[in-house]
Amino acid sequence: NAGVTQTPKFQVLKTGQSMTLQCAQDMNHEYMSWYRQDPGMGLRLIHYSVGAGITDQGEVPNGYNVSRSTTEDFPLRLLSAAPSQTSVYFCASSPDGVALSYEQYFGPGTRLTVT
């Protein structure tokens, strides 16, 4: 199993550009999530999904969209990038859906810079 994969690893955008961060897992996990990591802030939850076709907002959802058309994929879209979205983005998955368990597996991260 590859686990949780994320692409790209690095990305530079200009303000106003749009892009999609890709996340895929091959463990048949129900739960998937996106976090952003900023210095001194830890990990903050952006959006999450408890199963295909179901998504919900986390702590910091503004400026981001998600969809979950398959169990494996959970892309994160930035519609109009802003410098405040400069961060490291992590995708994670967990075997449990509604009954979220502790067992979250994280991808390697995407480092995004918005100029």
Partner 1 sequence: GQQLNQSPQSMFIQEGEDVSMNCTSSSIFNTWLWYKQDPGEGPVLLIALYKAGELTSNGRLTAQFGITRKDSFLNISASIPSDVGIYFCAGQKNYGQNFVFGPGTRLSVLP
Contact residues: partner 1, CB under 8 A? 4, 33, 35, 40-45, 48, 58-59, 90, 92, 98-100, 102-104, 106-109
Q: Read off the amino acid at residue 96.
A: D
Q: Using the minimum distance from each CB to partner 1, give the nearer residue, 3 or 16.
A: 3
Angstrom distance (rounded) from CA 71 to CA 65: 17
Looking from the CA of 19 toward its CB, the CA atoms found within 13 Å total: 20
In the complex, minimum distance from the CB of residue 106 to partner 1, in angstroms, rounded to a whole number? 3
In the complex, minimum distance from the CB of residue 102 to partner 1, in angstroms, rounded to a whole number? 5
Q: Using the minimum distance from each CB to partner 1, give the nearer residue, 77 or 111.
A: 111
Q: Using the minimum distance from each CB to partner 1, give the nearer residue, 87 or 109.
A: 109
In the complex, minimum distance from the CB of residue 109 to partner 1, in angstroms, rounded to a whole number? 6
Angstrom distance (rounded) from CA 66 to CA 54: 10
Please spell the DSSP secondary structure of 33-89, one letter per residue. Answer: EEEEEETTTEEEEEEEEEETTEEEE-SS-TTEEE--SSSSB--EEESS--GGG-EEE
In the complex, minimum distance from the CB of residue 5 to partner 1, in angstroms, rounded to a whole number? 11
Q: Using the minimum distance from each CB to partner 1, give the nearer residue, 15 or 57.
A: 57
DSSP class of residue 12 equals E
